[in-house]
Amino acid sequence: MRGELSPSEKTMLESVRRFARERIEPVAAEIDRTAAFPAETVGRMAELGVFGLLIPEAYGGVFTSHLLYYSVVRELAGHCASHALTLLSHCLCAHLVATFGSEEQKRAHLPRLASGETLGAVCMTEPDAGSDLAAIRTFAQERDNVYVVQGGKHFITNGGRADLLVVLACVSRQKTPFNQSLFLMEKSTEGVRIGRCEMKMGCRGADTRELFFDEVEVPAANLLGRKGQGMLQIAHAMETSRTAVASLSLGLAERAFRHARDYSKQRKQFGQTIGSFDAIRFYLAETATDMECARLLIQEAAELQRKGKRIVRQSSMAKLFATEMAFKAASRALQIHGGYGYMQSFPLERIFRDARLFTIVEGTNEIQRKIIAGHL
């Protein structure tokens, strides 16, 4: 990604790059094979400070720019998408607390989130409410200065590993845009029940769970921001999260491209390397062009954020383009490898499976098209 990272930001990014190459890359295939959560390497990521990338320094974080955050997510994804997705979900939780939390909430939670002592998760999706979050059924009933939360969530990244949950729940039976709120909830709270771990097609090392809330009592002080503003808060945080998904996808595309380019220089057919055939060269040219477009979209979003502007349209464009680009890039790279690309001994089939997820999460690409169209 071409951007104006400061010298200190470049130093941090280089540390992440070195860590990913030396510690994550050697275990990535095994993580995918066993679908095991990489607790050791995720724990060591905390030592690099990446869990505090969206948390101000005053609360123990290392936030300097959104561009650094996007660059780190991209770098991790180039080695293992599961690590990048784990970080992305944690940072969405931290971002919500940092943006909408009270001073007391920030001081209570942000230092632990920044250090990695606490892992975060955001609980929105339900069986009947994915793209249509207005259809959620989890309900928080106010009683004597507490909210009693009843309901359940599914497809929650970090769900079985997170210590702090940000939970979206209805606070009114009326169907209005202001009938939902966000609540901070410790996973250890009585009544919080962890469901099964989902076995996924890709990003198999990221912990994805069902969560159930059985009459969970949450103090009224744990309401995040103003009552009834939950959907607006989620929409605001999604601007950053969707751009991060675009960066993650770019990292996957770049990894696929490097494999395809290098393989095309080595593999020989008909007496010459396959990289000398126009069909292969054109695949590489298209992917390189697509990746440059994705970089520019992410860079534009980060620059607007640096100026304090909203990026509703830009984040949706970046997410839509980069995620579909990454899937195409992985498909082209797999095709260049031929039969070898289909084998698990080569990394292309894993990248292909991982890339497919990101056209769905953080708002499906159909939803992104709807958002973009609304801004035209």
Active site residues: 362
Written as six digits, the tokens of 141 are: 């009933």
Supply the pTM of this predicted model.
0.95
What pLDDT score does 1 carry?
42
β-pairing verdict for 164-170 and 120-123: parallel
Fold of 121-228: Butyryl-CoA Dehydrogenase, subunit A; domain 2 (2.40.110)
Residue pair 27/38 in contact by the 8 Å Cβ criterion: yes
Domain ranges of the chain: 7-119, 121-228, 231-374
Q: What is the pLDDT of residues 164-188, one digit of tens each?
A: 999 999 999 888 778 999 999 999 9
Quick one: pLDDT at residue 91? 98
Kindly report, residue by residue over 104-156, the tens digit of the pLDDT. 999 999 999 999 999 999 999 999 888 888 889 999 999 989 999 999 999 99
According to the model, what pLDDT value does residue 61 have? 98
What is the β-pairing status of strands 180-186 and 164-170?
antiparallel
Regarding the domain with residue range 7-119, which homologous superfamily does it belong to in the CATH classification? Acyl-CoA dehydrogenase/oxidase, N-terminal domain (1.10.540.10)
Tokens coding 356? 């497919």
CB-CB contact of 25 with 98 (8 Å): no
d(C-alpha 245, C-alpha 205), whole Å: 17
For the domain 231-374, what is the CATH code? 1.20.140.10
- Bridging pattern class, strands 164-170 and 208-219: unpaired
What is the end-to-end Cα distance of the chain in Å, rounded?
27
How far lies 215's CA from each of 52, 162, 194, 312, in Å? Answer: 32, 20, 14, 36
CB count in 10 Å sphere of residue 199: 8
Q: Tokens 């860079």 correspond to what residue? A: 299
* pLDDT confidence of residue 2: 47
CA 59 to chain centre: 22
- What's residue 3's pLDDT? 66
| CA pair distance 354, 334, nearest whole angstrom | 13
Q: Are residues 90 and 267 in contact, defined by beta-carbon separation less than 8 angstroms?
A: no
Q: What is the pLDDT of residue 132?
A: 87
* Residue of 293, 351, 282, 299 whose CA lies nearest to 321: 293
Q: Could you read off the pLDDT tens digit of each residue along the chain, which spans 376 residues? A: 446 899 999 999 999 999 999 999 999 999 999 999 999 999 999 999 999 999 999 999 999 999 999 999 999 999 999 999 999 999 999 999 999 999 999 999 999 999 999 999 999 999 988 888 888 999 999 998 999 999 999 999 999 999 999 999 999 988 877 899 999 999 999 999 999 999 999 999 999 999 999 999 999 999 999 999 999 999 999 999 999 999 999 999 999 999 999 999 999 999 999 999 999 999 999 999 999 999 999 999 999 999 999 999 999 999 999 999 999 999 999 999 999 999 998 999 999 999 999 999 999 999 999 999 999 9
Residue 95: CB atoms within 10 A of its CB come to: 26
Question: CA-to-CA distance for 157 and 88, rounded, in angstroms?
Answer: 9
Query: In three state form, how does the secondary structure of the chain look?
Result: CCCCCCHHHHHHHHHHHHHHHHHHHHHHHHHHHHCCCCHHHHHHHHHCCHHHCCCCHHHCCCCCCHHHHHHHHHHHHCCCHHHHHHHHHHHHHHHHHHHHCCHHHHHHHHHHHHHCCCCEEEECCECCECCCHHHCCCEEEEECCEEEEEEEEEEEECCCCCCEEEEEEECCCCCCCCCEEEEEEECCCCCEEEEEECCCCCCCCCCEEEEEEEEEEEEHHHEECCCCCHHHHHHHHHHHHHHHHHHHHHHHHHHHHHHHHHHHHHCEECCEEHHHCHHHHHHHHHHHHHHHHHHHHHHHHHHHHHCCCCCHHHHHHHHHHHHHHHHHHHHHHHHHHHHHHHCCCCCHHHHHHHHHHCCCCCCCHHHHHHHHHHCC
- Measuring CA to CA, which residue among 290, 283, 298, 299 is closest to residue 348? 283
